[in-house]
């Protein structure tokens, strides 16, 4: 089992395996991590356990919310200990939020992916969110904010006004997590190019944007091209 002190705290921390994350779950309510890079763009995972009795050792999630897209509209899904498993479904881009018995929350932002849940015993429900694009930490009670996470929310806020059109809503929601992530990275790079103030404010975060773009260009050129097209189709290209 990994030592809890080695739990990943940001997207830039070393990758861990699903088995390692499972070991950590004995002491933690959740862990967000990237899997080892057998693939140049490893998966991001958020693993959490809803228990009938709080452990009081870390953070004890009792309710989880996330977005899905059915038909022409997005819907907020709610999972608690009594949600019938197994659940295997595609999740949409947006926020994932964990709340404990006191209403304290930890939140994440995702470009979409899949959720799997399994009842470990009558008193514990395991949930695993997985995505080929990063699942990033927002500011919360039990975690540090990931770099660029707030910028992703800002990007989504600029996309949302286009969703009043059913055709453009379908255009966005039909895109893969990888393509949406590429669109964000390209848009972020354009904004940085135009604003010295933004470059100064983000400082070291700029290097991460460039590093992630370089990975996409080298290993996911098709996804990067699709992200560029999406920006043009939404008239967001700078």
pTM of the model: 0.88
CA pair distance 128, 30, nearest whole angstrom: 10
Note the pLDDT tens digit of each residue in 202-214: 877 888 899 889 9
- Angle at alpha carbon of residue 71, lines to 92 and 234, rounded to 5°: 65
SS3 63: strand
Residue 177 has pLDDT above 70, yes or no: yes
User: How far is CA 35 from its chain centroid?
Assistant: 14
Alpha carbon distance 93, 171 (integer Å):
13
The string of pLDDT tens digits covering residues 75-93 is 899 999 999 887 889 999 9
Q: Where would I find the H helices in 108-220?
A: 149-159, 166-173, 177-194, 196-202, 205-219
d(CA 184, CA 199): 16
Q: What is the pLDDT of residues 13-45, one digit of tens each?
A: 788 888 888 888 888 889 988 888 776 566 899
**Given this model, what pLDDT does residue 12 score?**
74
Place of tokens 């990275």: 185
State both tokens at 153: 């929310």
Residue 215 has pLDDT above 60, yes or no: yes
Q: Residue 2's pLDDT is what?
A: 41
User: Do 125 and 50 form a contact (C-beta atoms < 8 A)?
Assistant: yes
- Asked if pLDDT for residue 55 goes beyond 70, the answer is yes
């Amino acid at each position: 089992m990994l030592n809890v002190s080695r739990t990943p705290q940001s997207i830039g921390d070393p990758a861990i395996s699903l088995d390692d994350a499972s070991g950590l779950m004995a002491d933690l309510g959740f862990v967000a991590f990237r899997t080892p890079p057998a693939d140049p763009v490893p998966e991001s995972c958020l693993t959490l356990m809803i228990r009938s009795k709080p452990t009081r050792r870390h953070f004890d999630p009792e309710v989880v919310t996330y977005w899905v897209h059915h038909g022409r509209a997005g819907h907020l899904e709610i999972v608690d200990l009594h949600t019938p498993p197994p659940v295997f479904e595609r999740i949409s881009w947006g926020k994932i939020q964990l709340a404990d018995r006191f209403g304290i929350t930890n939140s994440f932002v995702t470009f979409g992916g899949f959720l799997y849940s399994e009842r470990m015993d009558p008193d514990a429900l395991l949930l695993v969110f997985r995505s080929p694009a990063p699942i990033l930490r927002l500011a919360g009670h039990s975690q540090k904010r990931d770099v660029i996470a707030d910028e992703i929310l800002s990007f989504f806020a600029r996309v949302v006004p286009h969703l009043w059109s059913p055709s453009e809503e379908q255009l966005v929601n039909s895109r893969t997590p990888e393509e949406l992530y590429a669109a964000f990275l390209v848009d972020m790079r354009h904004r940085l190019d135009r604003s010295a103030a933004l470059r100064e404010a983000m400082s070291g975060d700029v290097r991460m944007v460039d590093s992630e773009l370089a990975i996409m260009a080298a290993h996911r050129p098709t996804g990067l091209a699709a992200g560029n097209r999406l920006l043009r189709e939404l008239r967001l290209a700078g």
